[in-house]
Each structure stands twice: as structure tokens, then as C-alpha cells.
Amino acid sequence: MGPIKLAYFGAGGFSQRQHLPELGKQAEVEVAAVIDPSVENRSNFSLIHSEIKAKKLKEFYSLDDFLRSGTDVDAGVIVTPADSHFEIVSALLRAKKPCYVEKPFMLKITDALLIEDYSSGLKIPVMVGANRCVFPSYRAAANMFKSDAIGGLLGISMYYKHNWEGNTAGNWRQDPNHPASGLLMDHFAHYAHYLVNLGFKPGEARHLGSKYNQAGVDVDTCFYLKDNQGKMAFIVMDGSPSDNKREEEIIIYGTNGRIRVLSENGGSAAYLEQNGKSVRIDNSQAVGEIKSLGIDDVQSHPALLHNFISVIRGENVINASPVSDGVNATYMIQGVAESRGKDRIDTLNKTELNYFRQILNNKRWLNEDTLQEFYKNGERITLNRT
């Protein structure tokens, strides 16, 4: 089989800094075409690709230009703003080309379901770039939970702290007129996909509060998801801290202890906590599973790119982040967004955000009584996949 030729949709900083170095690790992969309305983005992307691969590629302004050209490719990689995903993926599937789609997958559940139908009907793989399912500590924690090590599920909490506001200034993520702007729409996809990995199936969403910046987008937010047995996943996202330290903590509460994933400034570890003792979970099984997916460097950020390449080569039948995961994540994100309402009004301040954080630190699990005083901030929404 000859080299895998990719069409790249979106040639911005993430494609240049993250994707191209990863593709450089694959000797038989090259980019045949780059599609981006920005001449500067295309030029920089092409230069980096030529330095890595010593290959020239074709440049196109738009999807239509690319399709009219008849350029031969084996698959598409979509790293564009989320409102363009449906059009691009639909066109590529009609051409029977596999797709790798960066998160968030789709903005509407109806679009996500249509893509799932196209993909399954045509038997053409679609992969969603949400990588926590192939990060060793996160995967080890999920495996431990699925082994019933902590008994029945009581609830899940997720905490994120990082200067999202500062790091996304000036691009579409902080354009209030863009349908995928703001912290919730841009970043919750990571945790929604992890909830899917854990088997959490919510039937209700409720927004508890958000803080908006001068640009008019949410930079801090709190909400919960609840399944049909009353188990809650509670998410606190601090996207505008005064420092740039990155912190992420996921706690899975069980009837017989808890599992905790802690990530700080690029490093992460998972722990099993029972009877007052905390034991670090061995990642070796998770690392072995990840490597079996075609991913040699388990520390790489866009690690799923390697699984995608192995899938379209026919070397691997396991799609580690399939379109069905993207559907379920979209279902959650849309539900939370709808429960927030349409008004961009501050319903959260840092004091309240810290109060929520204290709840996560001090409570074994969360219930509606604990959160009663914040219920004024959002509507309870029944999640609907249609």
C-alpha cells in the first residue's frame, strides 16, 4: 500500500503545532491538500509540512474549490470551527473518504445522528479527536471503575482550571456570534467524551451558572448531568484564573471508595482511594491497550491521529473514538447549552465557583439538596436525541 494522502481542513495554530509533528512520526503519511480561507495559515502550514515531509501540497481556499479540483486523497482531517464540521464531513463521506474530526464533533444532535447514519450505512469510519480515552491515567481509571473495584456508582465530579480565556483570545472561540464560542461549547467535549467512556448515560441536564467576559462569551461555568437513577455528574470549569497553572481532577465516587484522576501542568496520575488509603493505579495495562491501537507515543496530545491512520490502513479494526461517542457527547453538550438559556447574563462569580469547588472537595457525592440555592440559575432540561 502506498502512502496515506490526507486533505487537511483548517490550517491554524493547532494543526501546525500539534497535528503536523504527529504526522511526521508516520513515514507513510503525507498531506496532499490543505483547505483554509487564510492565505497566511495555508502558507505556514505548507512550509512546516515541506520541512517535515519534503513534499509539496495543494492549497485551496474552500471545500468547494477542493472538491472541484478532483485532488486524490485517502481521508480527511477536519480542524476547523465546529459550525463547518457537518458540511465538510458530509461531503467527504459522499466521496467515501474516512474522516477525523476534532472536538467538538457537531453542534446539533440532529447533525451528529445524520453523520452516524451516513458513516454506518457506507461503512466509512469517522473518528472524533477527544483524546482522554487514550491518555494512560484516564484509561487506567476507567478500566478500574469498570472492574467494579469501587462498587456501585454514586456520582462523578469533574474540575477544570486553566487560563482558557487568555489562551483563546482573538480567535473564533471568543466571538460571541460564533455558535461554538465560549468555554462550555469549546472545552466540555473533553469531559463529555470521558463520561461516555465511563458508560454514564444522562437523561437530564441543568446549568447552574456562568460568568461572561467583556467579549461576551462564558469563561467560567458550572452544571450537572443526571442519569435515570438519579446519579449525577457535576462539572466545574474555571477558565479565567489569575494564573496559568493547569489543573484537572476527575473523581468517580462508588459505594466502596473512589477513583481519582489528577492532572497538573501536563502530568497525570490515577488513584484508588479506599478505607483512608490512596494507591496509585498501575498504568501498564492501559499503556498496552493504547499501543495496540497503533499509538506508540502515549504522551502525544493528538494521539488518536495514529489510531485513525491504522484504522484506514486496515491494520486496526478498533476505532478508539467512534462517531457514536461523538453523538453521545453532542447530546450532552447541546442539553447543557439549552438549559443555560439564550441570555448571556452573569449567574456565577468566583466566590460561588470556589464554593462549588469546596463541595467537590468535601462531599462524597452531590445531590439536589446540596445545590438547591443555585437552581435559580438554569432550567432543568430533559435530554432528547431527536
Q: What is the set of domains in the chain, with CATH numbers?
A: 4-131+300-322 (3.40.50.720), 134-297+327-382 (3.30.360.10)
pLDDT at 307: 95
What does each C-alpha distance from 316 to 100, 125, 170, 295, 307 come to in angstroms?
A: 15, 12, 39, 11, 8
> What three-state secondary structure class fits 369?
coil
Own/partner pairs for 336-340, CB < 8 Å, 24+ apart?
336/184, 336/188, 336/205, 336/207, 336/223, 336/225, 336/381, 337/184, 337/185, 338/205, 338/381, 339/205, 339/206, 339/207, 339/223, 339/378, 339/379, 339/380, 339/381, 340/184, 340/207, 340/210, 340/223, 340/378
Q: Using an 8 Å Cβ cutoff, are 220 and 207 in contact? A: no
Per-residue pLDDT of the chain (386 residues; tens, 9 = 90+): 678 999 999 999 899 999 999 988 888 899 999 999 999 999 999 999 998 887 889 999 999 999 999 999 999 999 999 999 999 999 999 999 999 999 999 999 999 999 999 999 999 999 999 999 999 999 999 999 999 999 999 999 999 999 999 999 988 999 999 999 999 999 999 999 999 999 999 999 988 889 999 999 999 999 999 998 889 999 999 999 988 889 999 999 999 999 999 998 778 999 999 999 999 999 999 999 999 999 988 878 789 999 999 999 999 889 999 999 999 999 999 999 998 887 888 888 898 888 888 877 776 556 666 666 666 566 777 887 65
Q: Cα(86)–Cα(254) distance, rounded to whole angstroms?
A: 38
Is there a contact between 34 and 45 (Cβ–Cβ < 8 Å)?
yes
Contacts of 52 (CB under 8 A, 6+ apart): 20, 21, 23, 24
Residue found by looking up cell 437523561 in the block: 203
pLDDT score recorded for residue 127: 97
The continuous run of DSSP H or E covering 8 comes out as strand 4-9
pLDDT at 120: 95
Rounded Cα distance between 103 and 200, Å, is 19
pTM, two decimal places: 0.93
Predicted local confidence at residue 374, as pLDDT: 62
The residue whose grid cell reads 462517531 is: 323
Q: Which long-range contacts (CB under 8 A, 24 or more apart) does 363-368 make?
A: 364/154, 364/253, 364/258, 365/154, 365/155, 365/232, 365/253, 366/155, 366/157, 366/224, 366/232, 366/234, 367/232
Distance CA 313, CA 22 (A): 17
With beta carbons less than 8 A apart as the criterion, state whether 234 and 363 touch: no
C-alpha cell at 343: 441570555
Show the cell assigned to 297. 507515543
The Cα–Cα gap between 245 and 337 comes to: 27
Question: What backbone phi and psi angles, to 5 degrees, belong to 246?
Answer: -100, 130
> What value does the CA radius of gyration of the chain take, rounded to a whole number of Å?
21
Residue 270, burial from CB neighbour count under 10 angstroms (0-12, 13-18, 19+): buried
| DSSP SS3 for 37 | coil
